[in-house]
Amino acid sequence: MSEKTIVVVTGANTGIGYEAVKAFLTASQPYHIFLGGRSPEKVESAIKSFGDTGIHALVPFQLDLLSDESIAAAYAKISSEVDYIDVLINNAGAASNIPTSRAALIQDYNVNVAGTYAVTDTFIPLLIKSSNPRLLFLTSGLSSLEEAGQSDSPRYFNPPPGWPKPPGPSFLSYRASKTALNMIMIDFDRVLKNDGVKVWCISPGLLATNLGGNPEALKKMGAEDPYVGGVFIKDVVEGARDGDTGKAIRRNETQLW
């Protein structure tokens, strides 16, 4: 382990990414964290909100998953400051709050699958130089194919006959994109096995973030504070789930595919 654990977090100015950074700042061992976000101003504001970070270093960078130029610029900035990174946390994502359509599917796949793949592919040269490299992808409990088909699941709903069906909170484009992201993780686990990279999909549970558009509505559905997701990520980075690499993991179990 290096003197400081060097971490890159995408989508770090809000939601679970922000809470992961907050959790890292409680550690007794120092972290050097690069916080990425689409808006440099929002990332700077997030860093200021943490106040005195003590032994830890926080460094902002701009990142838009829809822009290859932005991804390349982020890599150029970080690689000019450090020779390697220990952890890449692919947290940034999108959830279309519109009925399922070609446009919604393309939007969520472009961010959650293609964008996340591009970031990972770009940063691998830095990651594999670490003596203890870790690669995390933020997935969702809604991505489980097996659970989606269980008729006794609270997420399973049979609308009345006829077409078109009434609109409902299916989030199909988001769910499908996260299922595809699980496959991305599996393949990176395969190709990076001989490089010693530990790889996971993190399924943090229902948390009251802005991703679904309405944190208060999520709380009424039983959503927990996003900070528990941040602590979960920190625990994985610090070795708590090293026996579950190559899997989609929840805080207390392995998620069914």
DSSP 41-59: HHHHHHHHHT---TT-EEE
Helix (H, G, I), strand (E, B) or coil at 5: strand
- Judge contact between 116 and 184, C-beta under 8 A: yes
Contact in structure between 43 and 77 (CB atoms under 8 Å): no
Annotated active-site residue in 174, 177, 198, 203: 174
The residue annotated as part of the active site, out of 70, 96, 140, 203, is 140
DSSP state of 111: I
How many angstroms separate the Cα of 254 from the Cα of each of 82, 90, 141, 202, 241? 34, 19, 11, 10, 10
- Is 117 considered catalytic here? no
Q: Point out the catalytic residue in the list 31, 178, 234, 247.
A: 178
Residue 49 annotated among the catalytic residues of the structure: no
Q: Is-catalytic flag, 140? A: yes
Which residues participate in catalysis according to the annotation? 140, 174, 178
